[in-house]
A and B are shown apart, each in its own frame.
Chain A
Amino acid sequence: GENVEQHPSTLSVQEGDSAVIKCTYSDSASNYFPWYKQELGKGPQLIIDIRSNVGEKKDQRIAVTLNKTAKHFSLHITETQPEDSAVYFCAASISDYKLSFGAGTTVTVRA
C-alpha cells in the first residue's frame, strides 16, 4: 500500500518567518494530496489540497507544491502567526476515500 513519510516531526519558527513541511509518497498512482491542520482538542481540518495534474496551489499565506517525478510534495506557510501553531498532516490518495497519512509535524510559532 501507499507509504507517506513526513519531515520534520517538529518545527519551531519565529513569528513572521516561513515554515516548510515536506512529504514523500511511494505509489506513483497517487493523485490527490491534502494537508490537514489539527489544533489542540480538535480534529484535523483540511487547509489545502492539490491534485496530480497541478504543480502548485496557493491560498493566501499557504501554498502546496507537488513534484510527481520525485514523488514529493510540500506545504509552505509564509508570514507565520501564533495561530499557525498546530500539528500538520500530509496525506496521499490513490483513489477516492483511502487517505494514507504522514505522522504529522508539530509547528510552534514563537512570538
Chain B
Amino acid sequence: ETGVTQTPRHLVMGMTNKKSLKCEQHLGHNAMYWYKQSAKKPLELMFVYSLEERVENNSVPSRFSPECPNSSHLFLHLHTLQPEDSALYLCASSFGLADNEQFFGPGTRLTVL
C-alpha cells in the first residue's frame, strides 16, 4: 500500500449522470494530483493542488471539477461526461510541489456509456 486510497475502484456511469471520485492520502503530504491514464498513452496531468489551493489546471474540460477540502482529501466531480472520458483516473500526492516523488493510489476505472 502506498498510503493513497481511492474510491470507488470501478465506476460505470451514463453521460447524464453526476458522480464523484474520492482520494485520501495518509502520508501527511501537502500536494495532491489527478491524472488520467488511457490505454497505451502517457499519463496526463489534470489538476494539481498545494495546501488546498489549485495550482494547475491542465486544460481540462469543465465537465471535470476538482475539489480539495483539506490537504488529505481530493475529489473529482464528474458530470455530463463523454465516452472518450473512459479511463483510469489516478490520484497522487507528494510532500510538496518541490518534491518530485509522487505516490499514486490504485486508481478508479471509469466507464462512460
Contacts and interface: CB of A to CB of B under 8 A. Distances in A.
Interface residues on B, range: 20 to 34
Contacts of B45: 98-99
B71 to A, nearest CB: 15
Contacts of B4: 43
A74 B48 CA distance: 28
Nearest to B48: A97
A89 interface: yes
Interface in B12-51: 31, 33, 40-43, 45, 48
Nearest to A46: B101
A43 B100 contact: no
Contacts of B76: none
Contacts of A43: 2, 4, 90, 92, 104-107
B86 interface: no
A101 interface: yes
Given A41-B106, A46-B102, A101 B42 contact: yes
